[in-house]
């Protein structure tokens, strides 16, 4: 039981902290993009490509974390280890 | 679900769907004798389809008013070509690198797009067809959600980078760069030796980090996406003739649609990011420090 509750907590932390970082990152980048686009509208197209590229990079770590956390939450790999523990 | 006896539990469903169709069971973390047959089959099939589509567009291209298909391919080629021009400043290399980037983009986009098929469609077909031809009942249809495939792609990019490093800078020039960048070198032989070791270590770390993050990024995105589709499918699996059962099935439709629409953005973005980073890494091989 203890393992299940710890894994649930860990999954929450992985997703939550990852989301925190990714959202701050996307927010900072988005605001800078809007500022830059307002200052120099002729660069908008060029900056947009770069913004999407960076959005992909920023999101990556978060999405990897979410995938791992969901894996832990649904198909818990640690339960199999408990079964093998010496009693 | 568990009450029916036959139906798998949620955990069993996920575990079963995350199992590759392999030639034999993987026992170690790294085992090069294991072949994921399903990933191989879908990756090669999709690669052939992608090449055939582009070939057909090139064969039937007219200089007059283009059809919709030709216009779409032209836009795609132009996007990749513009990016390649901006990043790789060497017209001779671009003859190889720009088509490489286009191939990478189209191939990865189509492989990622396998995620948009209903998550149980092909595994359900294989559930009937696979055991009938004597194969195990495992099937994963998204090749880019397989770490072996994405790391294979990023290692191939690394090989292209190394080849261009040697080709552009020469063996001597590249060897000099390996020991003198990023911290420079010194006239003093002892300081030069220390700096050389540090520089070489930094360069090796850079190559390893670039390659690993390149492959892991694509894999992580597609793996997480696939897993979320499976979890949404479980909502529909919980359908019963009761109020909560109907609510879950309704949630399945809503969540499935929302995630599929968002996933269209992710698959395109990740294919684009992989292509751009391929160009950036090859471009770096052309710059001397």
pLDDT confidence tier of residue B1, bands split at 50, 70 and 90: very low
Q: What is the mean pLDDT of residues B242-247?
A: 82
Q: Say which of A49, A55, A60 has its CB closest to residue B220.
A: A60
Per-residue pLDDT tens digits for B92-151 = 888 999 999 999 999 999 999 999 988 888 888 888 888 888 778 888 889 999 889 999
Residue A52 is assigned to a structural domain of this protein = yes
What CATH number did the domain enclosing A13 receive?
1.20.20.10
Asked if residue B131 belongs to a domain, the reply is yes
Domain holding B234, by residue range, is 9-286
Contact A74 B225 (CB under 8 A): no
In a domain, B250, yes or no: yes
Q: Let me know if residue A71 belongs to a domain.
A: yes
Q: Average pLDDT in the A72-82 region?
A: 75
pLDDT at A19: 93
Comparing alpha-carbon positions, the chain A residue that sits nearest to B216 is A64
Judged by CB atoms closer than 8 Å, whether chains meet at B269 and A56 is answered as yes
For the stretch B166-205, pLDDT in tens is 998 889 888 888 888 788 777 888 888 888 899 999 999 9
Q: Residue B157 falls within a domain, yes or no?
A: yes
Domain assignment of residue B269, yes or no: yes
Arithmetic mean of pLDDT over chain A: 86
Q: Is residue B3 part of a domain?
A: no
- For residue A50, the SS3 value is helix
Question: Is A43 a member of any domain?
Answer: yes
Task: Pinpoint the alpha helices (H) of chain B.
Answer: 10-17, 37-59, 68-87, 91-113, 121-132, 147-180, 189-237, 243-286
Tally of structural domains, chain B? 1
Judged against a pLDDT cut of 70, whether residue A9 lies above it is answered with yes
**A41/B36 Cα distance (integer angstroms):** 49
- The pLDDT, as a whole number, for residue B2 is 39
Range of the domain at A41: 2-76
Q: pTM (2 decimals)?
A: 0.84
- Residue B211 scores a pLDDT above 80: yes
Asked if B254 reaches chain A (Cβ–Cβ under 8 Å), the answer is no
Chain B contact probe: residue of A74, A77, A80 with most B CBs at under 10 A? A74
> In Å, how far are B68, B76, B85 from B71, measured between CA atoms?
5, 9, 21
Is residue A81 included in any domain, yes or no? no
- Residues B136, B141, B142: CA angle, nearest 5 degrees: 140
Would you say B288 and B140 are in contact if contact means Cβ atoms under 8 Å apart?
no
More confident residue, B130 or A79: B130
Residue whose C-alpha is closest to residue B263's, from B219, B216, B228: B228
Q: Which of residues 83-102 of B touch A (CB under 8 A)?
A: 83
Residues B145-163 have pLDDT tens digits of 988 999 999 999 999 999 9
- How many structural domains is chain A composed of? 1
Task: Indicate the average pLDDT of chain B.
Answer: 87
Please check the confidence at residue B62 and state whether its pLDDT lies above 90.
no
Dihedral sign for Cα atoms in the order B265, B267, B272, B274? positive
């Amino acid at each position: 039981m203890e393992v299940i509750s710890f894994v649930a907590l860990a999954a929450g932390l992985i997703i939550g902290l990852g989301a925190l970082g990714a959202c701050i990152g996307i927010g900072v980048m988005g605001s800078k993009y809007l500022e830059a686009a307002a200052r120099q509208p002729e660069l908008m197209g060029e900056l947009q490509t770069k913004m999407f590229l960076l959005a992909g990079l920023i999101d990556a770590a978060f999405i990897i974390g979410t995938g791992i956390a969901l894996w832990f939450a649904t198909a818990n790999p640690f339960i199999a280890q408990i079964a093998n523990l010496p009693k | 679900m568990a009450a029916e006896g036959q139906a798998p539990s949620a955990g069993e469903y996920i575990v079963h769907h995350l199992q590759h169709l392999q030639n034999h069971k993987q026992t170690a973390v790294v085992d090069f004798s294991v072949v994921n047959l399903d990933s191989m089959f879908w990756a090669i099939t999709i690669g052939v389809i992608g090449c055939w589509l582009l070939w057909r567009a090139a064969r039937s291209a007219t200089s007059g008013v283009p059809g919709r298909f030709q216009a779409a391919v032209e836009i795609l080629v132009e996007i990749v070509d513009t990016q390649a021009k901006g990043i790789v400043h060497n017209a001779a290399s671009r003859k190889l690198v720009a088509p490489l980037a286009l191939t990478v983009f189209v191939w990865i986009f189509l492989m990622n797009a396998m995620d948009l098929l209903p998550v149980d469609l092909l595994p359900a077909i294989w559930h009937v067809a696979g055991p009938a031809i004597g194969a195990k009942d495992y099937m994963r249809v998204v090749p880019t959600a397989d770490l072996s495939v994405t790391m294979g792609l990023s290692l191939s990019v690394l090989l292209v980078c190394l080849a261009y490093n040697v080709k552009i800078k020469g063996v001597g020039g590249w060897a000099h760069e390996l020991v003198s960048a990023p911290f420079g070198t010194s006239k003093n032989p002892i300081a030069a030796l220390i700096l050389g070791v540090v520089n070489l270590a930094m360069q090796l770390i850079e190559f390893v980090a670039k390659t690993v993050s390149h492959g892991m990024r694509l894999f992580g995105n597609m793996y997480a996406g696939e897993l979320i589709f499976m979890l949404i499918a479980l909502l529909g699996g919980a359908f019963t003739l009761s109020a909560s059962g109907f609510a879950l099935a309704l949630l399945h439709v809503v969540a499935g649609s929302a995630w599929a629409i968002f996933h269209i953005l992710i698959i395109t973005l990740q294919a684009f990011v992989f292509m751009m980073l391929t160009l950036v890494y090859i471009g770096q091989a052309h710059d001397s420090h």
